[in-house]
Amino acid sequence: MAANAFTDAAGNGNTASSALTVAYDTQAPTVSNVTSSTANGTLALNDPVSIQVVFSEPVTVTTTGGTPTLTLETGSTDRTASYLSGTGTDTLTFTYTVQAGDAATDLDYTSTSALALNGGTITDTAGNSATLTLASPGASGSLGANKAIVVATSPTKVVSVRNPSGAVVGAAFSTQPQVSVQDVGSNVVTSDSATVVTASVSTGASLVGSTTATVSSGVATFSNLGIVGTAGQAYTITYSASFGGVALTVAQQTVTPTVGAATQLTVQRQPVGSSAGAALATQPIVRVLDAGNNLVESSSAAISVSPSGGALGGTTTVNAVNGVATFTDLTFAGTASSNYTLTFTSGSLTQASSSNVSVTVGTATKLVLTTSAASAVYGQAFATQPVVSVQDAGSNVVTTSSATVTASLTG
């Protein structure tokens, strides 16, 4: 055989020989391993993944009719990694970008037949079509066995978007708070429109209005939320939620409320009784408060007082000054040693009641006929003699009195 009478696929000619030996390659390339150059760890939305499919020999990829793909197990919707490079070598690279809703605790392909030509071809240099069968998912040589890649696009945390402002005790914030639910990569999970976010507040305060909000496209906006607490005190509002039974990392915001509208009265200084009919030994002082028990210094409300029994005298209606109403000349008459309360009211404000007030027997103010004369016979003494008691303004008998009582006849 003359030299260069034949050439191989690489264009190499034969050497001169008296005999010709021809070797035919009929062995199809097979997949020996699937791995990834992407580092182990947790991936989030829009993170890229590079996957390498290793063959038993160099292969050639043609994409004229389509691009080979590798189907990945990514939760409710399986994604495909598309061929990128590697033709002429034994390692082909496929790429996939994490999309919303993807999830995998250990990223792997879907099955032994997950590698597909999709209209393309994969052959060796002899033209043999590659066998595309993969190792079973999770088995030796599979992507899942070789790597530890987690895909997590579900919410993992609640993040503050907008802080509340215009915090007035007992009223809704003028600017309502807003939070978002985000994945591990700090991407807003726009596919989530079901998670419920709950607001709570630190000790010493309470929230009013709606304390829950449902996310829409990953964002929750509260409505009518407000706070009740001490004016000028900073409080922490915590926003919590769970997804799939797992608690998300919470978000927190700080708010400092100002004094709110008047809602209630409180007795700052309790009244103390004296003798019946006399001025109270201690005159009451009443304050106008908001829902958080803060003094409403702007209030000039008219505050009236009435007793549970007995008789109250003096100025019974007083206007508040800087939110404080001071009574100065109240008198009270009632049954000695009995307990009474004073009730303070002002329009729609929640009323306040005093502690018990009692009086002692006062000074004599009146005579009361307790037994009338009876059986009057001309010229004779009454069979039943009249009895007169000396009483104070509260109708208590003044036992210390030695007053002389004179009877006279009229008519």
For residue range 267-311, list pLDDT tens digits in order: 999 999 999 899 999 999 999 999 999 999 999 999 999 999 999
pTM of the model: 0.73
pLDDT for 313? 96
Other C-beta atoms closer than 10 Å to the C-beta of 382 total 12
For residue range 84-111, list pLDDT tens digits in order: 999 999 999 999 999 988 999 999 999 9
pLDDT for 376? 76
Percentage of the chain beyond pLDDT 70 is 94
How many whole angstroms separate alpha carbon 345 and alpha carbon 356?
17
pLDDT for 18? 62
Using CB atoms within 10 Å of the CB of residue 60, give its burial: 0 to 12 exposed, 13 to 18 middle, 19+ buried: middle
| Regions of the chain with pLDDT less than 70 | 1-24, 411
What are the φ and ψ backbone dihedral angles of 380, each rounded to 5 degrees?
Answer: -120, 160
Nearest to 53 by CA among 108, 126, 119: 108
pLDDT for 363? 85
C-alpha to C-alpha distances, 33 to 29, 52, 83, 125, nearest whole angstrom: 12, 8, 16, 20
Domains of the chain: 31-152 (2.60.40), 157-255 (2.60.40.10), 264-353 (2.60.40.10), 364-411 (no CATH)
pLDDT for 393? 82
- Which residues 6+ apart lie within 8 Å of 109 measured at CB? 34, 70, 71, 72, 73, 115, 134, 137, 142, 143
pLDDT for 7? 65
pLDDT for 270? 98
How many whole angstroms separate alpha carbon 400 and alpha carbon 403?
9
Cα angle 178, 181, 185 (rounded to 5 degrees) comes to 130
CA 190 from chain center: how many Å?
A: 20
